[in-house]
């Protein structure tokens, strides 16, 4: 099985650079604006798009992404509407890989089998589900693989060499290295430590290793992209989006451009990085 994610990493390898991965919450601050933002991302330099599935109780997220999820829910976003958003994006873009990221309960309630069919047909390529460690692979990871979707696992500073093989076993697409112990939006990682961690993971897998949590500036993005196969930015984009809203939390004429501008400058950071060693 080859997904858009695999194809994209193969292309980037040929171009000799790392991937820039962006995270945005579906339906933040409303579904129409959120579709416009997502449509603007590839143009602005995003190589892979992660779309958050809002959840009331995001226990691994900091205040920024918590607030983004609540804005999205308030605007009426549901898992079904998130899939509609993906479908709408796919109508105009057949190539950019899309990864849905979130928590298990809304998928469990939607129904795992139905979700996998609907996600695949909408044009989703991969899933990152924060609260499904390898111990729970039978829930969604194995069915997703059978359905032709990548299940992208998080590895963290606490995932030691003994545990890494279990974490990597059913991972596909790429490995997402969470560079800090903490929630989204917390402190930035020290790039030399990240380089060592990426090297350690690379000893166990041939999959691309992307790094996220704590990357906010083009310089940080460049530093990470020079050691990893990709740099993931989420909270910084959500913050700029939130800063562009009016007092009632509604989108303004600045919202889409504010996000796109930051994506553009971060993408330049990633593109300025010397390619990470394979």
User: Which residues are catalytically annotated?
Assistant: 50, 61
3-state helix, strand, coil in the chain (%, to 5): 45, 15, 40
Residue 126 exposed, middle or buried by CB count within 10 Å (0-12, 13-18, 19+) = buried
Minimum Å gap between C-beta 228 and other proteins is 17
112 is an interface residue for other proteins by CB under 8 A: no
Q: Position of tokens 């390529």?
A: 125
Map the footprint of other proteins across residues 11-40, applying CB under 8 A.
none
Residue span 209-238 as binding mask against other proteins, x where in contact by CB under 8 A, dash where not: ------------------------------
91 is an interface residue for other proteins by CB under 8 A: no
Three-state DSSP state, 205: coil
113 is an interface residue for other proteins by CB under 8 A: no
Cβ proximity to other proteins: between 70 and 88 the closer is 70
Determine the straight-line distance between the first and last CA of the chain, rounded to whole angstroms. Answer: 22
Cβ proximity to other proteins: between 158 and 253 the closer is 158
Residue 36 exposed, middle or buried by CB count within 10 Å (0-12, 13-18, 19+) = middle
Residues that bind other proteins (rule: CB under 8 A) add up to a total of 42
Non-local (6+) Cβ contacts of 120 within 8 A are 147, 148, 149
Lookup: tokens for 61: 């997220």
Sign of CA pseudo-dihedral 233, 67, 75, 153: positive
Residue among 36, 74, 78, 217 that touches other proteins (CB under 8 A): 78
Span from 30-38, 103-111, 222-230, 263-271 in contact with other proteins (CB under 8 A): 103-111
Residue span 124-163 as binding mask against other proteins, x where in contact by CB under 8 A, dash where not: ------xxxx-xx----------------xxxxxxxx--x
Residue span 39-58 as binding mask against other proteins, x where in contact by CB under 8 A, dash where not: ----------------xxxx
């Amino acid at each position: 099985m080859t997904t858009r994610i695999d194809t994209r990493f193969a292309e980037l390898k040929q171009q000799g650079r790392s991937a820039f991965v962006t995270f945005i919450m579906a339906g933040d601050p409303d579904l129409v604006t959120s579709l416009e933002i997502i449509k603007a991302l590839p143009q602005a330099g995003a190589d892979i798009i992660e779309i958050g599935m809002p959840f009331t109780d995001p226990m691994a997220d900091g205040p920024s992404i918590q607030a983004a999820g609540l804005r999205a829910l308030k605007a009426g976003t549901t898992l079904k509407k998130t899939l509609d958003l993906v479908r709408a994006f796919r109508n105009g873009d057949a190539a950019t890989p899309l990864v849905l990221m979130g928590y298990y309960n809304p998928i469990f309630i939607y129904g795992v089998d139905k979700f996998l069919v609907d996600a695949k047909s909408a044009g989703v390529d991969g899933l990152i589900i924060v609260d499904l460690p390898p111990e729970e692979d039978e829930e969604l990871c194995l069915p997703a693989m059978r359905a032709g979707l990548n299940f992208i696992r998080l590895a963290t500073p606490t995932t030691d060499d003994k545990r890494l093989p279990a974490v990597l076993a059913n991972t596909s697409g790429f490995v997402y290295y969470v560079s800090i112990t903490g929630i989204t939006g917390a402190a930035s990682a020290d790039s030399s430590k990240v380089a060592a961690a990426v090297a350690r993971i690379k000893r166990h897998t041939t999959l691309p290793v992307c790094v996220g949590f704590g990357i906010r500036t083009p310089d940080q993005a460049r530093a990470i992209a020079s050691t990893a196969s990709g740099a993931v930015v989420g909270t910084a984009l959500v913050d700029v989006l939130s800063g562009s809203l009016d007092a009632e939390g509604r989108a303004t004429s600045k919202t889409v451009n504010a996000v796109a501008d930051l994506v553009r400058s971060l993408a330049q950071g990633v593109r300025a990085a010397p390619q990470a060693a394979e």
